[in-house]
């Protein structure tokens, strides 16, 4: 709920604290932001745009794919890492903030909150995703923002930051993490979905991705742990179409050609899931 995270929020125009007045967030400088009827609030600056956000179709595909449990191993590993990072413990609901940068539908944030205390801030540029994130867990507040701009969170406000297949803004992550806080980052390896990459001509992940992520974050964060997770996916053709439609491949794939190629694949399609779960502090 938005009221659970209001004390952590900062105005995108002046960075002053926001307070909730009915269904409107206000700062002392007079800026105000109305909560949408779907439960999220937009804290985008006036000149920002949402053109890079996930579309309604992409969000629907992701919601269906995740609801089927195909990426449950990632959610479980992330929740375990959150516990290991100290996000659980005696803190109860309302104590401590878990912020998910690029939260999408709130699937991973909800799984982490189910294992830990505290409240969750789902941050994403897609209002379509946040309509779902706002309902993913009773302790989630959903906020539209741009990951590449100053985040609408107060300095040192987050105990834990999640980042799953999402943009990474090192300076802002460092600013909003409290001293001793942790970033949990999930990134695909070059083996992730390799069978679909080969069969469907999808975008591939280069083998140097982990090193490049470390280098980009190193001025602000230090890697403290990294766990490789590999698992098998048994997908229907509809599932395979959804995993294409829910990510960046959706922008680069011809729907007609994709359907024709999928029709030639065996069912189920056996696919490799392969990710790194990395902890930074």
> 6-56, pLDDT tens digit by residue?
999 999 999 999 999 999 999 999 999 999 999 999 999 876 666 668 899
User: Which helix (H) or strand (E) element contains residue 47?
Assistant: none
User: So what's the pLDDT on residue 91?
Assistant: 42
Coil vs helix vs strand at 193: coil
User: So what's the pLDDT on residue 208?
Assistant: 83
Number of H helices, E strands in the chain: 10, 11
| Mean pLDDT on 92-104 | 81
> 175-216, pLDDT tens digit by residue?
999 999 999 999 999 999 999 999 888 777 888 888 999 999
User: So what's the pLDDT on residue 51?
Assistant: 62
224 is a domain residue: yes
> 214-231, pLDDT tens digit by residue?
999 999 999 999 999 999
With beta carbons less than 8 A apart as the criterion, state whether 11 and 31 touch. yes
Q: CA 173, 175, 181 angle in degrees (round to 5)?
A: 70
257 is a domain residue: no
Looking at residue 175, which CATH number applies to its domain? 3.40.50.150
Whether 92 shows a pLDDT value over 50: the answer reads no
Of 234, 227, 251, residue with least CA distance to 196: 234
179 is a domain residue: yes
Structure tokens at 262: 């999928």
| Mean pLDDT on 112-126 | 93
| Length in residues, the chain | 281
User: So what's the pLDDT on residue 123?
Assistant: 98
* Domain of 208, in residue numbers: 2-53+78-190+200-230+274-280
Cα gap 236→241, rounded to integer Å: 9
Strands (E), 102-205: 119-124, 140-144, 158-164, 177-188
User: So what's the pLDDT on residue 28?
Assistant: 95
Of 76, 125, 116, residue with least CA distance to 97: 116
Coil vs helix vs strand at 247: coil
With beta carbons less than 8 A apart as the criterion, state whether 106 and 127 touch. no
User: So what's the pLDDT on residue 93?
Assistant: 40
Residue-averaged pLDDT of the chain: 91
90 is a domain residue: yes
Cα gap 254→241, rounded to integer Å: 12
Beta-carbon contacts of residue 25 (< 8 Å; ≥ 6 apart):
2, 6, 9, 18, 19, 32, 33, 35, 41, 43
User: For the chain, what is the domain count?
Assistant: 1
Binned at pLDDT 50, 70 and 90, residue 89 comes out as very low
Q: What is the DSSP letter of 40?
A: -
236 is a domain residue: no
pTM comes to: 0.93
User: So what's the pLDDT on residue 53?
Assistant: 80
- Ranges of H-type helices in the chain: 2-5, 56-67, 72-84, 107-115, 127-133, 170-176, 194-200, 209-217, 237-245, 255-263
């Amino acid at each position: 709920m938005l009221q659970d995270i209001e004390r952590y929020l900062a105005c995108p125009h002046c960075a002053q604290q926001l307070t909730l007045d009915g269904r409107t967030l206000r700062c002392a400088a007079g800026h105000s932001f109305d909560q949408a009827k779907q439960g999220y609030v937009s804290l985008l600056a006036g000149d920002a745009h949402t053109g890079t956000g996930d579309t309604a179709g992409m969000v629907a595909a992701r919601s269906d794919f995740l609801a089927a449990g195909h990426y449950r191993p990632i959610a479980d590993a992330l929740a375990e890492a959150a516990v290991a990072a100290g996000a659980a413990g005696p803190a109860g609901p309302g104590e401590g903030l878990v912020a998910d940068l690029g939260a999408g539908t709130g699937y991973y944030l909800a799984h982490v909150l189910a294992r830990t205390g505290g409240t969750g801030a789902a941050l994403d540029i897609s209002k379509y995703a946040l309509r779902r994130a706002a309902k993913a867990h009773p302790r989630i507040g959903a906020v539209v923002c741009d990951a590449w701009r100053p985040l609408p969170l107060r300095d040192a406000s987050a105990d834990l930051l999640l980042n799953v297949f999402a943009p990474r803004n090192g300076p802002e992550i460092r600013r909003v993490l409290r001293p001793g806080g942790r970033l949990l980052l999930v990134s695909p390896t070059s083996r992730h979905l390799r069978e679909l990459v080969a069969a469907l001509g999808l975008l591939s992940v280069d083998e140097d991705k982990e090193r490049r992520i470390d280098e980009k974050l190193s001025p602000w964060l230090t890697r403290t742990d990294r766990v490789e997770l590999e698992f098998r996916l048994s997908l229907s053709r509809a599932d395979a179409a959804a995993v294409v439609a829910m990510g960046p491949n959706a922008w680069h794939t011809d729907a007609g050609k994709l359907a024709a190629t999928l029709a030639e694949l065996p069912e189920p399609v056996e696919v490799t899931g392969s990710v790194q779960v990395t902890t930074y502090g």
